[in-house]
Structure 1
């Protein structure tokens, strides 16, 4: 996984190359963990995220751990996600859940709020959000 240059889901989601991995720029695993915690706090509290929150079980600890490992690797950090789970196969892993524009937008709103809450640099946040949009839009499997 090259950070933001070739996201693991599909090379067509490429964005500009970076001199150092976004993983370092964002603050490493500790920062990614804070972002993931903030992301799921958003999901738990935002009315527009009720639908995507319902797709998760009551205990978010396992899914948080997976998202931390995935994002760390995707951002150019340690490759623990692939070592433990293999290729992400995001569409396959999410196929059981109806993902349309509303779900995409709720996920993106939660992530944007999490990046803002954790003080992610605005320029990096904007690059990440562009890449997240491409991935989230690609994940849609429902016409809404």
Structure 2
């Protein structure tokens, strides 16, 4: 993936994932398109996201150890994920990547992988 091994290692490991997720959920919790499908208290959601992104970008398999296989599409089926919500989610992530100061080429690689994942999560038309 990278000269240093994984994206997770290249961006600085868990501390950077933590900064990214904190910046992301600060935005999600205030986004009018996203708040209807997220809980009022985002603590547990953010914890699971930290575990998932750690594993997704090549770090320890904490998500699988804690929650089992990711099966992200299945886990997201109960929520109406429209193209508009996908775009809102991606906009929050884009801003969070900037706030977390993730440098190129990792920023683009992360956003590309998350964009593909976000497209896969859609399950409802606008």
Normalising by the smaller structure, the TM-score range is over 0.9
Q: In structure 1, how many angstroms separate the alpha carbons of the residues matched to 2:14 and 2:2?
A: 18
Q: Compute the displacement of 1:44 (Å).
A: 2.6
1:18 alignment counterpart: 2
Q: Deviations over 1:54-109 (max 9, x none)?
A: 21212111111100000001111111110111111111111111111101101100
In the other structure, the counterpart of 1:39 is 24
> Does structure 1 retain, via aligned residues, the 8 Å contact 2:37–2:80?
no
1:137 aligns with 2:122: no
- Indicate the SS of the match to 1:24: helix
Question: Residues of 2 paired with 1:139 and 1:57: CA distance?
Answer: 18
Question: Normalized against structure 2, the TM-score is what?
Answer: 0.93
Question: Alignment partner of 2:124: what SS?
Answer: coil
TM-score by length of 1: 0.82
Unaligned runs of at least 5 residues, structure 1: 1-16
| Aligned twin of 2:78 | 96
CA deviations 1:13-44 (Å, max 9, x no partner) are: xxxx3341000111111110110000011113
Q: Which runs of 4+ in 1 moved over 4 A?
A: none
CA distance in 1, matches of 2:98, 2:53: 17
- In the aligned structure 1, how far is the partner of 2:11 from the partner of 2:121? 24
Deviation of 1:51 after TM superposition, in Å, equals 2.2
Match of 2:29, SS state, is: helix
